[in-house]
Each structure stands twice: as C-alpha cells, then as structure tokens.
Structure 1
Amino acid sequence: MIMSCIVIDDEPHAIDELCDLIAQVPHLNLLSTFSDARQAIAYLQETGHADIIFSDISMAVLNGIDAADILNNYCHFLVYVTGYREYAPEAFGVKADGYLLKPVSYMSFRQQVEDLISKFQDILKLQRDENQFLFIKGGQKSSYIKIRYSDIVYIEAMLNYIMIHTTTGHEITYIGLKAMEDKLQLMDVFFRVNKSIIISLHYLDRVDGNIARLANGKSYQIGEKYKSVFLEFLKKHTLKS
C-alpha cells in the first residue's frame, strides 16, 4: 500500500531531513513540500488530497494549529513535526493523528507511518464492508433487515414505500424510490429505468429496444427520461469489433 504525503515547514533544513526520512520508509510517496501552510492549502485545493500531511507548528505566515481545520479536509492523517513539546495538547485538540518531536529519529518516524498505514487499512476495510450491504427498517418496531447489494435484482416503487426484490424473495420498507436511488448513486450497477423501477445490472439479461429484460423473466420499459444515460452506459461497456 502506497500513501501519498506532503511536508510543510518554514525551515529548509527541516524539510530536507523529513524528506530523507520519507525516502527511507517504504509505502510513502512524497507529492510536494511547502515553506508555509498557505502554499500547501492552495496546492491541496487544486489537486484535492494527500493521505498524510506532515506539518510544522510554529511558522511565521500561518501556524500549523490555525491551519488544521482546513488541512484536515484534504487528508486522512495530519501529523505535526515540531521542536516543542508544549504544543501537544493544542495539536490533539485539533484532531492531529500524530506528534513527532524534532530531531525525528528514523525509528520513531517509521513507527508513526506504520501505525497510520494500519489505521488506513482499517478505514478501507470498513468502507468495503459498508459497500456490500445495507439495512432497512422492518415491519416491527426496532426491526432491521440486512440486504446485500449483490442480492438485489430490482427495486419497485409502490405508493409511499418500496419493495426490494432479491434473489431469495422481497422486502418492503417505507422510503421513497428517489431516496433509495440517492443511496445507490455511487454504485454503478444500479440504474433507474423508469419512474417506478431500479434494476441491478448484475441481473440484466438483455436490452431489446426500449425494453430491459432481467434474468428472472421480468421486463421493464425504459422511460424517455432515463433512456439516454442508461444507453450511454451500455455503449461504454459494449464489445466493439
């Protein structure tokens, strides 16, 4: 696993020392270095993200503590690298993920990185798990039903609730189809084909004109409102000669 990082420090020799440590530790990719936090923020706003930000605290233009609220929006982990012990309470008060004292030893730096990699792996595992299933409210009070996304064949709107048809049966929950569509929008296997139906491409057998035919024998007309997006997706995944 490779984690990207940037360094922020207003002392050139401190940047050089940290860059040397980064080069010696596996799994780190140094994106850039900055002599003040404002430069780093401008870079992050343009590029979008760094997994780890290593930042000094005591800097003339904008100190690391004051920049934390913005920096935390663009990284998974914010680690302060400073020569002052007394900043520790403030650092963890702004949700810092690490605190290294200068001069930073190879072992302390490596241990910090390994801890962050372990945390990052836990985050990724949780995200994968969250993308495998959802819970819906059942008919009884405090009743919840687990449904795997991979088991959903299609979802049908029925007045003020939806019926989720799966490979083993169906479940009903009181939520609108639009709310369900929003929940599924990050997953590219679910498509709304008309005002009442969302289908899973895992169980789409074929498309004949404006008709989507599922593997279970069900067929649904593709509405004009949804046709262009659906057909564009199919074209991108069609084998070309």
Structure 2
Amino acid sequence: MDVMIVDDEAAARRILRDCCATEPDLDVVGEFADAQEALAAIRRHPPHLLFLDIQMNTMSGMQLAQSLDPEALPLIVFVTAYDHYALEAFEVSAIDYLLKPFDDGRFRAMLARVRHRHLAQTAVDRQSALATLIGQLDRAVHTAGQSRPRLLADAGGRMQMVDVAQVEMVEADRNYVMLRVGKDTLHARSTLQQAEGAMRSQPMLRISRSCLVNVNHVREVSRTPRGDFILVLAGGATVSSSEGYRDKVRVHLERLMVGAS
C-alpha cells in the first residue's frame, strides 16, 4: 500500500516512517509537515493509506480529511493526543486512530485492522465512516463544553479564573493545592480530595497520594527500571508515579491502548 504521513511534528513523522519501514507491504510515498502541501499532493496522487495528525497549526486533520475527494478517499488513520470525549467518538466509527504515544504493538494491531479494511471497504464505506466520526466528534465537543466548570485560584497575589480543562496537574501542598496550567503554577486553599471533586469532568488519574494528573495533557509515557511510570505533560512538567499507585496507573494506561478491550 502507498502511504502518506501528515504531521507537523518531525519526531512523530520519523516514528511513523520507521514503523512503516518494518512492514513489507507499506511504501511511504510522501511525508508532509504542512497540511496545505499535503492536501495538494494527496489530490494529485491519492495514497492507499493516510496517517493524519488531528492537531496541526495551519489546518486540522479533520479539515484536511473533509477536503479530500470522496470518490478517491484513502484509508485514514488519525494520529492523536485527543481527550477521552474524542476517543469515544473513534470507537463508534470505522476509522482507526493511534493515540500518542504509541508503541510497535499498538501500531501492528492498528495495521491488521487497516489491511482488513483495505480489502473490504469501498470509497462509499470510507466516506460514510468519516461522516459518522465527524458527527460523533461534534457531539463530543458539545458534551465537553457543557461540563467544563471554572475554578478560582491564586496567581501571585491576584485571583485568576481557570477552566478546569486547562489544568494539567494538581498537587497537594499542606493546606493548599498547586494547579499546573501550562508553565504556570497557581494555588488554591483546598484538599486534594476537594480538588479531585472539582475536576470530575476531566479524566484525572491519581499517580501518588499527593498528585493528580489530567490524562488529556499527558504527552509522553515511559517507565523507570523498577517499573514506575514517568509522565511528561504538555506544559513540560515531568512527574512520576509512586510504588503504591503503580498498578492503578498501569491499568488505566492499558485501557487507552489501541486494541484494548
């Protein structure tokens, strides 16, 4: 199958290219950081399989997919770090996705499904699947927008209103909690348990007695030699799970893997 890769992150393109290189039936014929350039190339020579990042600077992956010729629509695998609302939308559509970060096992599981669809799906089937996914995502965004309360936190002597969806991490600090929002740290007079209740609309994962992480903002996951998890957040913070929460974190992350039941 001819393959094109569209992602504005060089590291992400390299990982996909290396994964494809191990598969004898995949031939990477194009690789693009710019969505507009990719769209023009796909229209000229539609590939059989398209790896498409959802979140790009100039044009979203969804916008690019909607701009393709319905009669020559390739098999699409969306590569995403999207939140849990969006992932539920993928589960009810006939379009595959890879959740960043992914490993070789998840790539091969996805590819097995793609090969089956390459033989079984028509262009009409693919267009229908894409329309279903877009409809589900629209409903997911609406649902998420209805359940995003705001918190009032101390930002260096002034009070700041914060959308809970922006909070990457919550840590206990004596009689306060620290809220990590990007590269900023805010404070609120609260217990960790109270903060967890306030963040209930978000997929919060407790990784230690004193730390909650918003899974929507986790960008990388690795493990220490003894098995603890190291999570890198979107704003650059790095946190580690404690031994007592190791199994809970492992089970939660396994549920996010492509192909997990």
Bin the TM-score by the shorter chain: 0.3 to 0.5
TM-score by length of 1: 0.45
More strand by share: 1
**Greater RCO, 1 or 2 (C-alpha within 8 Å, sep 6+):** 2
Larger radius of gyration: 1
Q: TM-score, normalised by structure 2?
A: 0.42
